Amino acid sequence: MTILRLGTRRSRLATSQSQWVADLLRDAGHSVELVPLATLGDLDTERPLRDFGGSGAFASTLRRALRDGVVDLAVHSLKDVPTAPEEGLVIAAIPRREDPRDALITRDGVTLGELPSGARVGTGSLRRRSQLLALGYGLEVHDLRGNVETRLAAVTSGALDGVVLALAGLRRLGLTEAVSETLDPLVMLPAPGQGALAVETRDDDPAVIAAVSMLEDPDTRACVEAERSLLATLEAGCSAPVGALAEVVEGMDGLELSLRAFVGAADGSHELRRSLVGEVHDAAALGARLAGILLEHGAADRVGASGR
């Protein structure tokens, strides 16, 4: 039996995500070997991601390994994958999504509303920074890079009063006991694609595409297609202050797709929040329509100002 070589970032979280995918493939009768790769985003943990091309810095090394035939498939956190198609590659499967919400971790277990004015909260995300500052709680938001363990250590050491991380990553690492509060999307909309994984292959490798197709979750695919279409139409990169969350919900005439979005200024001085409902099978069009509404209300000025 041919062994599927699965490319993964070296971090504990990325390896955990890739191991989950590998186990599903093994359960289906495939042999899988994990191939750890060091990405640019992992090697440089000091500068903000936006300084060297945004979160695409994590995907580029894995994609190069795919194109060069070093690996047969790669597992990405979908929020780190640029929205533009990559020539020669295809996202062959998007498995069932983990909880997409953000989580707050504080030293004393206090919630966001209980943090005092001047409390120091860490994040490497402009999206989170923008929404935290827009709350008007008087928080000091500090740039923070590094793996999950490094960020949690900034709280336990007293360097920061709190950090905001993706709940999905904490769940995959078995660290949910550290969570002080799961942030409601009404307060903090997640990044487009957050909590979802992308299994990418070469588009001319039908055997591998067929092998991973059993991982596909149609509802998750529809949700992230709507979110990523919105991001692409706004022409905002992975690191821009844009949040989006789509959900398949029960409507008057059956299942429908509900999409909420946020665009803000990095300093929290301005924000736009809009929502739209559409057909599940028309996810990309729904995302583009909501992006159009945001653009009509000045979203381009907010995204542009944040990138300067």
Listed in order, the ranges of the chain carrying CATH 3.40.190.10 are: 3-95+196-216, 102-182
Residue 273's Cα: distance from chain center in Å?
19
Task: Please state, in angstroms and rounded to a whole number, the distance separating the CA atoms of residues 178 and 114.
Answer: 17
Q: What is the largest CA-CA distance in the chain?
A: 60
pLDDT of residue 58: 77
Are the C-beta atoms of 92 and 214 separated by less than 8 Å? no
Q: How far is it, in rounded angstroms, from Cα 266 to Cα 69?
A: 40
CA angle 107, 180, 54 (to 5 degrees): 85
| β-sheet bridge partners, residue 143 | 123
Backbone angles phi, psi at 14, to 5 degrees: -60, -40
Catalytic annotation present for 99 = no
| Tally of CA atoms within 13 A in the half-sphere of 136 that contains its CB | 3
Residue 300, pLDDT score: 79
Show pLDDT as tens, one digit a residue, over the chain (308 residues). 579 999 999 899 999 999 999 999 999 999 999 999 986 555 444 545 444 455 566 799 999 999 999 999 999 999 999 999 999 999 999 999 999 999 999 998 999 999 999 999 999 999 999 999 999 999 999 999 889 999 999 999 999 999 999 999 999 999 999 999 999 999 999 999 999 999 999 999 999 999 999 999 999 999 999 999 999 999 866 567 999 999 999 988 899 999 999 999 989 998 999 999 999 999 999 999 999 999 999 887 766 555 43
Q: Where in the chain is the domain with CATH 3.30.160.40?
A: 223-306
Contact in structure between 222 and 280 (CB atoms under 8 Å)? yes
Q: Dihedral sign, CA of 172, 40, 92, 237?
A: positive
What CATH class does 3-95+196-216 carry? alpha beta
Q: How big is the chain by its Cα radius of gyration, in Å?
A: 19
pLDDT on residue 52: 46
Q: Which two tokens stand for residue 16?
A: 């955990």
pTM of the model: 0.90
* Predicted local distance difference test score (pLDDT) of residue 302: 63
DSSP state letter for 96: P
> Residue 258 — φ and ψ, nearest 5°?
-105, 130
Task: Let me know: does 220 contact 99? Beta carbons within 8 Å.
Answer: no
For 281, residues 6+ apart whose C-beta sits below 8 A from its C-beta are 222
Q: How far apart are CA 180 and CA 2, in angstroms?
A: 45
pLDDT for the residue 238: 58
CA-based torsion, 183, 185, 191, 192: positive or negative: positive
Return the CATH fold of 102-182.
D-Maltodextrin-Binding Protein; domain 2 (3.40.190)
Give CA–CA dist 211/92, Å, rounded. 9
**Top-tier CATH class for 223-306:** alpha beta
What's the pLDDT score for residue 252? 86
Q: Give which of 239, 210, 248, 211 is closest to 96, Cα–Cα.
A: 248
Strand ranges of the sheet holding 181-182, from the earlier edge strand across to the other edge: 140-143, 120-123, 162-166, 102-106, 181-182
* Catalytic position from the list 27, 44, 72, 80: 80
* Dist. CA 277–CA 225, nearest whole Å: 14
